[in-house]
Chains A and B, each alone.
Chain A
Amino acid sequence: MSSVSVSEAHSTTMKPLVWLEIRRFARHPVFLAGLTACTVVLVVAEQDAIAHPTNDRIGAAAVALFIGVFSVLAAYFLTRSMKSAEEILEATPTTRPRRTAALCATCGVSALCAAAFGVFGVVALQIWPMPAWLWGTFSEVDLVVVMAQQTVVAAVGGTFLGVAAGRWWRFRGAGLVLVVGLLFWVELSSGATAVVAADGTWPKFLRLFSPFAFFQTAQVDPTEAVDTFPGSPAWYLGWLLALCALAAVAAMLHRADGVVRARLMRLGPVLLASAAAFLILAATHGPQHVVRSFPDGTTTVITSR
């Protein structure tokens, strides 16, 4: 083993480690609980939706909650699970940032599950279509982008956030604090501003500052109207991806040294600036006012001024 070069060893070590961590994540009781709950909720919701169509057929909020939030907890517990053996892990040639990177790679499991639920929703829509006006003023690209945000990106970001918290937060109950904080962030940013003066400058920024945002009123049935909220779904996706990358960098920064630390420290400000730029672009592009769509196909712009 001593004759193995550093780069050669690194390239060969990650694959089995990633596989081990993926298997641990996929078998984690918290993740399995989220997966089961998501399956039950979506199957029940789909049965209801066939009889009473709504614009929440894909059930993205359920995926974000049961896959995204449960992945936060599963990744957090998985990261903390090795705490007791930390001293011998530190004495191995696989550095902590590489171990963290392997843990981050478990996002593949949650992303795959979230994508599967998304595909399930899309297939269900093909079989039991719903009125087009329920999608508001979204283009097909917008729909795909929003679906990706609320399913796959939520799952990936949740996993990264859980790993980052597992590395940096060492107090008892940190996992619970993390989830409550995350839900509070979403509720404060998205929930509180979604209806009230949604087209005002600051409410718009605050709504999109959230790691999960609705772009139209949810759970609308065919007799009501649907509101499409201001902002660009595509740029908002950029903001979310920047947040994901920041969480991953924060996780890997823990006890990193040498070249790795220097690289991560350079990457951090770039990602922060990118995140800020994406947020500004998301708020200043796309529709700037709420657009209300009606069952007869007409739309009207709603302004708070």
Chain B
Amino acid sequence: MTAPTVRLTGVGKRFRGTVALADVDLTLKPGITGLLGPNGAGKTTLLRILATVLRADAGSVNLLGRDPNAPDERTDIRRRLGYQPQELGFPRGFSSFAFVNYMAVLKEWSEREPRQAEVRRVLAAVGLGDIATKRISRLSGGQRRRVGLAQALLGTPDLLVLDEPTTGLDPEQRVSLRQVLAEIATASTLIISTHQTEDVAALCEQVVVLDAGRVHFDGSVQDLVARAAGRVWLADEAEPTAQTSWRLASGRYRNVGAHVPSGAELVEPTLEDAYLLLRGARARDDETVPA
């Protein structure tokens, strides 16, 4: 059995009295884990803790068998870590190659030849090989995100933390990114925060749903989807009792809800249906909490 590369126990984090994470337990093994949740759920805070750029206020964090609070062990973790933050700015005047090369130096690629070969490899992997010498300021938003991804891929890290890596990418780029990540995931642990449930469904073995700083689901994608089995149906009208309904291109309505009317035409649920159902259950729980 593969040993976990990430183990979080009772992790908490507050920002000026606001609870960002509360009592988070999480275990990740090699493979891809998707992190889902609404805005403000604490996803970015969790990823920043995993990337060692933020310290937890409570609980214990173990990454790649080491303690990120100990300076030497933190450095060791960072040698085996790749991180793409949600919002990444770039210094002025840098080309993609120059920036990723700078990052490679910081990641201790000291020898010039192997470093530059690695920089070319990761830029090619994210489809920027042909425009590597173009200034980053002249690249599109999607291309800039891929520069951020390229630096994260340097050295094929054992732990790869990606915060919304598919934002701003076109469908072809997303598919290409999935191929790159799937290849890395054969030996590394990847955690990806995203709002794109189809990316999670296509890539991830494990899914974690975070809401209001707490883990509301941690299991396989199939298990989460199974929770919505028998709760998604098609109808000619939007069902008032459904938790969510929307009109399809066919003119019919897709309804997702806990209470299915008798005789409804049930369909196979998707991860998105299951996520919406979980979110709806959470919202109902909040409403029933006494003031």
The answer to whether A88 and B88 touch across the interface, beta carbons within 8 angstroms, is yes
* A99–B92 CB distance below 8 A: no
Given the interface contacts A20-B102, A91-B51, A93-B75, does A4 sit within 8 Å of B91 by beta carbon? no
Q: Is the CB of A92 within 8 A of B106?
A: yes
CB interface residues, A 79-98, toward B, < 8 Å:
81-85, 87-95
Which stretch (A6-14, A206-214, A297-305) binds chain B? A6-14
How many angstroms between the C-alpha atoms of A120 and B80 in the bound complex?
50
Interface positions of B from 120 to 172, Cβ below 8 Å from A: 148, 151-152, 155, 158
- Supply 13 A–B pairs (Cβ within 8 Å), ascending by A: A1-B79, A1-B155, A6-B75, A13-B108, A16-B112, A17-B105, A20-B102, A85-B99, A88-B88, A91-B51, A91-B81, A93-B108, A94-B106
Q: Which residues of chain B from 96 to 113 have a CB within 8 Å of any chain A CB?
A: 99, 101-103, 105-108, 110, 112
Beta-carbon nearest neighbor of B64 in chain A = A2
Of all chain A residues, the one with the shortest Cβ separation from B89 is A84
Q: Which 3 A-B pairs have the closest CB atoms?
A: A84-B89, A258-B71, A92-B106
Check A257 for interface membership: any CB of B closer than 8 A: yes
Distance in angstroms between the alpha carbons of A221 and B178 in the assembled complex: 76
A1-52 interface (Cβ within 8 A of B): 1-2, 4, 6, 9, 12-13, 15-17, 20
Is B117 interfacial (CB-CB < 8 Å)? Answer: no
Residues of A with C-beta under 8 A to B51:
87, 91
Chain A residues with CB under 8 Å of chain B are 1-2, 4, 6, 9, 12-13, 15-17, 20, 81-85, 87-95, 99, 257-260
Which residue of chain B lies nearest to A78 when distances are taken between CB atoms in the complex? B91
Whole-angstrom distance between the alpha carbons of A99 and B105 in the complex? 11
Indicate whether A85 sits within 8 Å of B79 (C-beta atoms), given known contacts A91-B51, A93-B107.
no
**Is the CB of B83 closer than 8 A to any CB of chain A?**
yes
Inter-chain CA distance A155–B83, complex, in Å, is 37
In angstroms, Cα B106 to Cα A91, docked, is 10
Nearest CB on B from A91, distance (A): 4
A-B contact count (CB 8 A): 91
Interface residues on B, range: 35 or more
A259-B71 in contact given A91-B52, A92-B107, A93-B79 (Cβ < 8 Å)? yes
* Assembled-state Cα–Cα distance A257/B71 (Å): 7
Given A87-B53, A90-B53, A259-B71; A99-B106 close (CB under 8 Å): yes
Q: Which of chain B's residues have a CB closer than 8 A to the CB of A2? A: 76, 79-80, 158
Do residues A17 and B53 form an inter-chain contact, with CB atoms below 8 A?
Answer: no
Which residue of B78, B88, B89, B151 contacts A93 across the interface (Cβ within 8 Å)? B78
Asked whether B84 is an interface residue with its Cβ less than 8 Å from the other chain, the reply is yes
- Asked if B198 is an interface residue, CB under 8 A from chain A, the answer is no
Q: Contacts of A20 on B, CB cut-off 8 Å? A: 101-102, 105
A sample of 10 more A-B contacts (CB under 8 A), given A13-B110, A85-B89, A85-B91, is A6-B75, A15-B110, A81-B92, A83-B89, A85-B88, A87-B88, A88-B88, A92-B107, A93-B75, A258-B72
Contact B105 A13 (CB under 8 A): yes
Provide the residues of chain A in CB contact with B72, threshold 8 Å. 6, 258
**Is B79's CB under 8 angstroms from A4's CB?**
yes
CA distance A91 to B78 in the complex (A): 6
Q: Which of chain B's residues has its CB closest to A92's CB?
A: B106
Q: Which positions 48-71 of chain B face chain A at CB distance < 8 Å?
A: 48, 51-53, 71
A4 and B72 alpha carbons, distance in the complex (Å): 13
Closest-CB distance, A94 to chain B (whole angstroms): 4
B78-A84 in contact (CB<8A): no
A1:B108 contact, CB within 8 angstroms: yes
Residues of B contacting A89 in the complex (Cβ-Cβ under 8 angstroms): 106
Contact B158 A88 (CB under 8 A): no
Instruction: Give min CB distance, B184 to chain A, whole Å.
Output: 15
Q: In the complex, what's the smallest C-beta–C-beta distance from A165 to chain B, in angstroms?
A: 18
Q: Give bound CA distance, A154 to B7, whole Å.
A: 51
User: Which residues of chain A are near B85, meaning CB under 8 Å?
Assistant: 87-88
